[in-house]
Chains A and B, each alone.
Chain A
């Protein structure tokens, strides 16, 4: 693909924003914040992706989905690169992505609680303070409790609303 005919980078980002996450198809790969860079290197399109969790089984599917989406748009020379650093954080979820999660029934991560924030939360909890308030994505109540720190995928925890009594997933802060 010559310089004159190859698609613009903005256009490619727009295509990638239409590729759903294989585990939580309501959000896209760009909503999740895992596509770190898109760049042409001569005739090859290099897409840099960072894993959410080091053992996330969706990682290889994500790479396949990206490749397929780009091939369908006529891009033939694609190289996918893995980037570990800086490590992915749930803070990179877009605003739009958070709203989509909520509408889907998954409580989005609470801003600014990644890494250091979570440890601060633990210290506060050990000191007897209450934990962070996570609102029920169904009824909006803040009367919720944790069932398990883990959930149906590596990126989620299990919660329950004590008002509407529905269990729900909470997107872990990391």
Chain B
């Protein structure tokens, strides 16, 4: 274990790694639900590939979470054997897929955050975090390019596609604030130089979102109520929407019913 681990509360580090890993896992699972259902074959393939990237990244993050935790839990154990309240993903990524526009808007709003997070993590004081971030950043740059292009094409598209994109934006925007909300865990890992404070990523995200929404001729929702920040709720604290339970029921069934099953 390096110096960084000694300098930070281990539980906070594990919790933070679970947040990053669970975001990738839950969004990866959501996107994979499109496999075989997309409007066109190329999009079906694109979504499946993105799901694969995210689940691959989740394996790295949760693998490290298990290593830092030091209780012998693997990435698989963390993904398959935790209950909903132990998941630490933000509410945005567990939102239902809705229509294709809603899926893409969710992807864009998350990708624009994800890229800024990974870029900052490349300078992490923990080399294991920095190298996973450097790997994932290249993949996520590609995701953002695609989701931004499609938000622009569909926003600045037909009347129908524009309406759907605007509706998707209005529904999802209240779930974006949680990504930038700093809590005690965030502050502990930031002080150790492991990760940036989420709030420090906000300005760059805002700039990307404004630029793309403008090109897409969509109306920015402005200041709206933000979910998961006030009171005791929020995915980062393990208080999820009911949707996560359905995701886990499907994702975890096999390992729960047949413990230890392998391919």
Which residues of A pack against B, CB within 8 Å? 51, 53-57, 84-89, 114-115, 118-119, 122, 147-152, 154, 158, 172, 174
Asked if B53 and A54 make an inter-chain contact with CB atoms under 8 angstroms apart, the answer reads: yes
Report the 6 A-B pairs with minimum CB-CB distance, sorted nearest first: A55-B56, A54-B56, A148-B42, A85-B131, A150-B46, A55-B52
Closest to A50 in B: B135
B59 at the A interface (CB under 8 A): yes
Contact of A150 among B50, B59, B130 (CB under 8 A): B50
B22-53 CB contacts (< 8 Å) to partner A = 42-43, 45-46, 49-53
A149 to B143, CA, bound (A): 9
Which residues of B pack against A, CB within 8 Å? 42-43, 45-46, 49-57, 59-60, 127, 130-132, 134-136, 138-139, 141-142, 145-146
Asked if A118 and B141 make an inter-chain contact with CB atoms under 8 angstroms apart, the answer reads: yes
Closest to B28 in A: A55
Task: Give min CB distance, A33 to chain B, whole Å.
Answer: 14
A59 to B50, CA, bound (A): 17
Task: Give min CB distance, A147 to chain B, whole Å.
Answer: 6
Closest to A90 in B: B138
Given contacts A55-B55, A148-B42, A148-B43, contact A174 B139 (CB under 8 A): yes
Given contacts A150-B45, A152-B45, contact A53 B139 (CB under 8 A): yes
Contact of B49 among A118, A147, A150 (CB under 8 A): A150
Asked if B135 and A87 make an inter-chain contact with CB atoms under 8 angstroms apart, the answer reads: yes
Q: Give the residues in chain B near A88, CB-CB below 8 Å.
A: 135
Given contacts A149-B46, A149-B146, A152-B45, contact A55 B57 (CB under 8 A): yes
Asked if B141 and A154 make an inter-chain contact with CB atoms under 8 angstroms apart, the answer reads: no
Chain B contact surface mostly = helix
Asked if A56 and B56 make an inter-chain contact with CB atoms under 8 angstroms apart, the answer reads: yes
Which of A54, A119, A122 has most chain B Cβ within 10 Å?
A: A54
Asked if B43 and A84 make an inter-chain contact with CB atoms under 8 angstroms apart, the answer reads: no
A151 to B2, CA, bound (A): 40
Asked if A149 and B145 make an inter-chain contact with CB atoms under 8 angstroms apart, the answer reads: yes
Given contacts A54-B60, A150-B50, A172-B142, contact A86 B42 (CB under 8 A): no
A88 to B56, CA, bound (A): 15
Asked if B138 and A87 make an inter-chain contact with CB atoms under 8 angstroms apart, the answer reads: yes
Q: Give the residues in chain B near A158, CB-CB below 8 Å.
A: 42, 45
A85 to B53, CA, bound (A): 17
Known contacts A84-B131, A85-B134, A85-B135, then 11 further A-B pairs from the complex at CB < 8 Å, ordered by chain A residue: A51-B135, A54-B57, A54-B139, A55-B52, A86-B134, A87-B135, A114-B138, A147-B42, A150-B46, A154-B49, A158-B42
Given contacts A115-B138, A115-B141, contact A150 B42 (CB under 8 A): yes
Closest to A147 in B: B42
Task: Give min CB distance, B220 to chain A, whole Å.
Answer: 19
Contact of A54 among B42, B59, B142 (CB under 8 A): B59
Task: Give min CB distance, B161 to chain A, whole Å.
Answer: 18
Closest to A85 in B: B131
A108 to B165, CA, bound (A): 35
Asked if B53 and A154 make an inter-chain contact with CB atoms under 8 angstroms apart, the answer reads: yes
Closest to B41 in A: A148
Q: Give the residues in chain A near B139, CB-CB below 8 Å.
A: 53-54, 174
Closest to B138 in A: A174
Task: Give min CB distance, B241 to chain A, whole Å.
Answer: 26
Which of B42, B50, B54 has most chain A Cβ within 10 Å?
A: B42
Task: Give min CB distance, A123 to chain B, whole Å.
Answer: 11
Which of B56, B57, B130, B138 has most chain A Cβ within 10 Å?
A: B138
Asked if A56 and B52 make an inter-chain contact with CB atoms under 8 angstroms apart, the answer reads: yes
Task: Give min CB distance, A76 to chain B, whole Å.
Answer: 25
CB pairs A–B below 8 angstroms (10 shown) = A54-B135, A55-B59, A84-B134, A87-B134, A87-B138, A148-B43, A149-B46, A150-B49, A154-B49, A154-B53
Q: Give the residues in chain B near A152, CB-CB below 8 Å.
A: 45
Q: Give the residues in chain B near A57, CB-CB below 8 Å.
A: 52
